[in-house]
Amino acid sequence: MTSRIAFALLAGVMLAPALPANDVSEVPKPPMAKKIEKKDVLHGDERQDEYFWLREKTNPEVRRYLDAENTFTDASINETAPLQKKLYDEILGRIQETDLSVPFPRGHYFYYQRTEEGKQYAIHCRKHESLDAPEDVILDLNELAKGERFMARGDWDISDNGNLLVYTLDTVGFREYTLHVKNLSTGKVLAESVPRVSSVAWAADNRTIFYVVDDDAKRPYRLYRHKLGSPISSDVLVYEEKDAMFTIGIARSRSDAYLLLDSSSHTSSEWRYLKAADPTGAFQLVAAREKEHQYDIEHHGDLFYVR
């Protein structure tokens, strides 16, 4: 629906010729969403949202209303179809569809992503030791998108030995990413699957994955530790951010020596670190959060650099 509305704004409103004033019969009647009373009180402030019911994604009536909106939009801008195609072709003609990112080294490989003309999604690849080596496709989102209504890749990380890829995919379009693990030596996707994951990182043992999950409000708030091959139900809760103003994220340092846990709000931040070679150890605090105080850390040599 979004793309159609965008064309309506661009072509239908700004560029389409106006209908004659007396030709009212050709103007389609817009659908009208029903109103259902709903009041919420937050911090003593009462708010009323009569269209809150449209948030109910599984409600068939919501789907029928959205279909009616799309039908109305199509009918309203039908005469602009040639102009829409002209604009689309103009925009597409200025995009380099077949493109390649700058390869970056990690371990024994150079990693990069590329796009191909006519394909909607990126293809993630690597080459062993040299850019002249044969290409190894590690994740083709175009293939993964087959049979899906939506496809987006979230976070990902490669194990230190280069054999395992942990990644997250959203197939519903609501920023709901599910964790998966792929064996890059065999091409097989393993049994691991965890919903609502926002960030991931490998420990140095090539067997332990740290991942952050979202709460019902899509706030990243819990960090778990998972051992490859073990039941997800046995994963260890390592850290929980209980302040609703803060979100957390996990990543490896650029040196790969540490796992870095970031907890931040819009105006404050707090970091913890753990040696990547000691996944069952305890994260250590760098500096406690303070009001209106933000900082970042990175590791190199025997120092942490704080900005």
Choose between 23 and 67: higher pLDDT.
67
Tens of pLDDT, residues 146-196? 999 999 999 999 999 999 999 999 999 999 999 999 999 999 999 999 999
Q: What is the pLDDT of residues 119-156, one digit of tens each?
A: 999 999 999 999 999 999 999 999 999 999 999 999 99
**Residue 8 clears pLDDT 80, i.e. is over it:** no
pLDDT (0 to 100) of residue 27: 62
| Residue showing tokens 């380099």 | 96
Q: Indicate if the pLDDT at residue 202 is higher than 70.
A: yes
Instruction: Walk me through the domains of the chain, giving residue ranges and CATH numbers.
Output: 2-92 (no CATH), 148-306 (2.130.10.120)
Rounded to two decimals, the pTM is: 0.80
Q: Are 144 and 169 in contact (CB under 8 A)?
A: yes
Across 109-126, average pLDDT: 96
Q: Which residues contact 203 (CB under 8 A, 6 or more apart)?
A: 209, 210, 259, 276, 277, 279
pLDDT grade for 57, boundaries at 50, 70 and 90: confident
Average pLDDT over residues 11-17: 40
CA 169/CA 64 separation, integer angstroms: 28
